[in-house]
Amino acid sequence: MERAEFHLTRATLQNMMETMESDMEKGLEGGIAKSTISMLPSFVPEMPTGEEEGTFLAMDLGGTNLRVMLMEISPGQEMKSTQFNTRIPDFAMHGNAEQLFDYIAKCLIDFLVENHLENENLPLGFTFSYPCKQTSLRSARLLRWTKGFETAGVVNEDVVQLLEEAIRRDGRAKVDVVALINDTVGTMVAAAYENKTSKTCHIGAIIATGTNASYMEKSSKVKFGLAQATEPYPYEGMIVDTEWGGFGDGGEAVALKISTKYDDHVDRVSEHPGVNTFDKLVAGKCMGEVVRLVLERLVLPFFLPGSFPTKYISEILGYISLLHTRLVLDELAIDREFMGSTDILLVQEVCRVVCTRSAKLAAAAIACLCKRINEPDIYVGIDGSTYKLLPFFEHFVVENLKKLVDPSQKKVHVIQTKDGSGKGAALIAAIVSRLKKNALSLERGKTMLKAASTTEDDKKPGKKDKKPSNFTAKRHDIFTFVFFYMKCYGCNFLNYASLCVF
């Protein structure tokens, strides 16, 4: 094997970062029509404060599995969860929209009935990890199916609306669907909640069978996404779903020399050629096939296409010994007489080189997002089977991040997140509930302030020096509102003083 084909120099990675940065800017300005990185709005405005409290539902449709979770959140305590897991049947994955969402609604409502919660109208955060055009926190239209789904009648339809219609058709329970998110947004929020140091997270990344990332952006920069919004967005920040898996779809991967002829072959024979190029270079789904193609050319021409899944890379790198690698090859029915010690060492080296290439690309993409964060300490939450289970992968990512982000300018802290798609969805439901309560309290306070300022007695001549008792009572209510406002929105003394001039 020409190791140089997979070797990525620091200069190559920095060139990739510059191109990716440019594509991200184009995505924020014009969406998928202008860039291979879509930069989709999530409409999630902030991280959890740690004061979230209550009982919330989370539902995660990822790959072929569905999870329904009941989460109890209390300040300063570990989240308590009860959950139900199932596999989406083929008739739903390849049927029509009604079949799929009726099945999802049935699983959700069966879970609620079993836990005697069917009449509670609990807030639900729905993790739906497929590319969507999102126009509000609870409204998103599916752009295309991935991960094996071919359900008819869902593309270009509002996913939340389809779910709510299915819940109504079932008729046994009340559910308040407050947010639809993808798994990277959930990972980012869950990492912030788990971060005991600063209670925040700036980037959330998934490296599994696919890869993607989200990060916190100034809402003023999310021009294309907010132009499509169906509701006003009053917040300064927003989590942006990059959909960076599409990077390279315009030929950038070849131009930047981050792909090889083996990657080109994998793409040509894939289910969707020319789509999700970066996904195929980084994530676990195609890694095993790339290794197989290299081995086929070098030493083992009798490997069948698709016969070397990524799990074998994990097994080989997890136990670096000739005996263990030989046992893995035995599983593949490779005759031992064709495999000497030198050949086995070559198999190990190919696995290591392909894995390292993937980790370097992932690190460069994360480093690109770090450049967008104007903070001295940057917290990155990462989840996903490839990142957590592939031996040395986490180490390779972290070490390359240190090389690509100047430590004298910014320090990167990596948080390995557990179940971001579940915890994150529940936490976002909690954030939405908190923001709604704050907004209602603020509106109530404004009404009180307006009523007090138009008191009839206050308008009468000669009454300016002596306020009647009803005004005094209302002034007390206003002070109460002001203190609440300060607590919710972090007002300083000057803000407080300006509010109290009446």
- What are the start-end ranges of the H helices in 199-340? 223-227, 252-255, 261-268, 277-282, 284-298, 310-318, 322-331
State both tokens at 191: 């990492």
147 is catalytic: yes
Which of 102, 27, 28, 104 lies closest to 61 in space, CA to CA? 104
* Helices and strands (H, E) in the chain, number of each type: 19, 13
Q: Would you tell me the crossing angle of helices 341-372 and 310-318 to the nearest 10 degrees?
A: 110
Q: Do the beta carbons of residue 329 and residue 344 sit within 8 Å?
A: yes
The one catalytic residue in 183, 249, 383, 419 is: 183
Maximum Cα–Cα distance across the chain = 109
The 3-state DSSP class for residue 336 equals: helix
CA distance 306 to 297: 15
Q: Do the beta carbons of residue 181 and residue 40 sit within 8 Å?
A: no
CA distance 172 to 162: 17
CA distance 41 to 294: 39
Which of 11, 399, 36, 403 lies closest to 253 in space, CA to CA? 36
Q: Do the beta carbons of residue 175 and residue 125 sit within 8 Å?
A: no
CA distance 1 to 262: 12
* Cα angle, residue 12 at apex, residues 8 and 17 outer, rounded to 5°: 115
Strand partners, 140: 134
196 is catalytic: no
The one catalytic residue in 34, 147, 388, 403 is: 147
Of all helices (H) and strands (E), which one includes residue 484?
helix 469-489
Listing DSSP states for 381-417 in one string gives: EEE-HHHHHSTTHHHHHHHHHHHHS-TTT-EEEEEE-
The 3-state DSSP class for residue 10 equals: helix
State both tokens at 137: 């926190």
| Residues carrying an active site annotation | 147, 183
